Structure 1
C-alpha cells in the first residue's frame, strides 16, 4: 500500500472502509502455464476491478499473497505450499490489525480453488475475533455471471486445473508466459466411486497425481486469447458489480455489544 500511516488512519475511519486482499498460489499448472498462474489472475483481476471503481470509493488493496495452500500439487516440482495452520494465522493476524485500524470489510479475493474451504474457515474465525469487520472469502471463478456459456459442458464439469479456461485466460493476460503444449489429461482416467465426485456435493480430497501425469485436469487444446478476453471481461464485470454493491451497503451489521455501548 502506498499510503502513509496518517492517510491509512483516515482511510480506516471512513464509512464503509474496505480492503481487498488478492490471494494466489505457487503450484504446477501443467507444462504450458507458469507456477504463478493463480497469482497472476488474482492480481490482474483486482487491478482491473479497482480501476473501474470511482476514485472516491473507500476501497484499498493489500499486496498480493502469492504463496498459498497447495498440498494436492506437491507431487510436481515447483509447487510451494504453506501449512494450513500458517494460512489461518496469516489471515487472523493481518485481519485483526486491519480491524484495529478501523477498516470495516476485508475481501479475500482468491484465485486458487484448492484453498477455498481453508480461507472460508479462516474468515469465519477472523469474524468471530473481530465482529466489527465483515470478512468475505471469494473465489475468483465463482460468482460472476455468464462464464458458463463460454465453455463446453465437459470442461465446466471436468476442467478443474490448467484446462481450457485457465490456458485461455493466460493467453489473454500474459501470452509470453504460455508454452506451446496443449494437454488433454485427467479426464479419462480413474473416477471416484458412484455417488462421489472430485468436486461438488460429495467430494474426494484428490491429489493431482491421482488423475494426471501432465498436471492438467481438463482439455486445454482449444484455448485461445479471444476466449480468455471474453472470460476476463465477464470476471471484471461481475466482481466490479459485487464490490459496488458491497460499498453501497451497510454490511456488516453492528454487533449487539456495540449497539448497547452507543445507546
Structure 2
C-alpha cells in the first residue's frame, strides 16, 4: 500500500520540479516557442477545426460531463455500481493531480507573434489539462474494463486520442511540447493514487449501502468480521438450560437426603417409645 502511494507522489513531485526549472530556463522556452511559431505558419482549415473541437470537447465543464456520463452508463445501464464508483475516483484523481501541478508550477502560456487560433482560458500551461484529462479517463476505463480484450481496445484507441489531443493543443499554440508530455506521468500518478483510494472506499460503500455487482463479492470490513467474545445465543441458552438441570438435580439430591434424615429420625423415636413401654 505504501509504494502505491509513494511512487505516484514521487512522480508528481519530480514533474513539478521539472516544471519549475522550465520556468527559470528561458532558453528551453525560446526553443519550444520557435517550434510553435513554425506550426502556426502551416495552418489548415481542417486542422483548425480539429483543434477547436478538441479545445471545447475537453474543457473543464465538458470533462465533468464526460466523467459523469461514464459513471451513469456503468452504474445504470451496465449495472456495475462498484466499477462506476472506482472509475469516478480514479479519473477525478488523475485530472485533479494535473490541476494541482499546474497551479504549483505556474508556467505562463506560449506568447506567439501571430493571432491565436482561439481564445484560451487560464494563464498557466504546465501540464496540459486537456491531455491529462483524456489520459485520466482512458486509464480509469481500462482499470474497470470487464475483459482483457476490451482493456486493450481502450488503451489502443485511448493512445490514439491522447496523441491527437496533444498535437492539437500544440497546433493551437495553447501549450508547449513539454506541457503535453508532462501531462502523461502526472495523470498516471493521479490515477494510481486514486486506484489505491478506490480499493478502500469502494468496498466500504458497497458493504454499507448493500451494493451488488455480478461476479463481484464484497467482504465485510475487518471490524465486523471479528468475532465477539460473548457466547452465541443458542450456546448461551444451552448453558442456561444445563445449569438449571444441574440445579434441579442438586435440589433433588438435597431434598432426598433431607427426607431420608427425617425418616431415620422418626424410626429412632418409635424405637425409643417401644423400649419405654
TM-score relative to the length of structure 2 = 0.28
TM-score relative to the length of structure 1 = 0.30
From the two aligned structures, give the one with the greater helix fraction.
2
Q: Which has the larger radius of gyration?
A: 2
From the two aligned structures, give the one with the greater strand fraction.
1
Q: Which has the higher contact order (CA 8 A, sep 6+)?
A: 2
